[in-house]
Amino acid sequence: MRGVVSVPMSKNKLKPHKGLLKRVRITKSGKIKLRRACGRHLRSHKTGQAIRDYRVPKFADACDARRLRKMLGLPSGGTRPTPKTPTEPSKQAAEGTAEKTAEDQDSIATPAEARGPGGSRS
């Protein structure tokens, strides 16, 4: 066909590493959570402290996290969004929140009072 330009498709598809997907979790903050090696069996010769340390989840170091993210097909995530700085509130509003009167403290119900008589939670 004349005038038609075909664009070759990429032969390398980006697929996540399925074995790694089964071994790691991505936290809400974007850290890669994993378990340490050698903690599942043959534990009789290991110290109690070592066995307890195996229970604590480990997070990937920054140098490894970039490589693992690439294997999972995730963005590198090198930069974090900067939080918005709050604007300076007016002095009148700041004074009103800083000073709570005794009436305000009395009107706040404790959890036991909020439940009512009998103290049942449901």
Where are the chain's structural domains? 18-72
Give SS3 for 6: coil
Residue type, 32: I
**pTM assigned to the model:** 0.50
Give SS3 for 67: helix
Q: How confident is the model over 35-92, as pLDDT tens digits? A: 999 999 999 999 999 999 999 999 999 999 999 999 999 887 755 555 666 666 655 5
Instruction: State which fold the 18-72 domain adopts.
Output: Factor Xa Inhibitor (4.10.410)
- Backbone phi, then psi, for 20, in 5-degree steps? -70, -35
- Nearest-CA neighbor of 24 among 50, 60, 52? 60
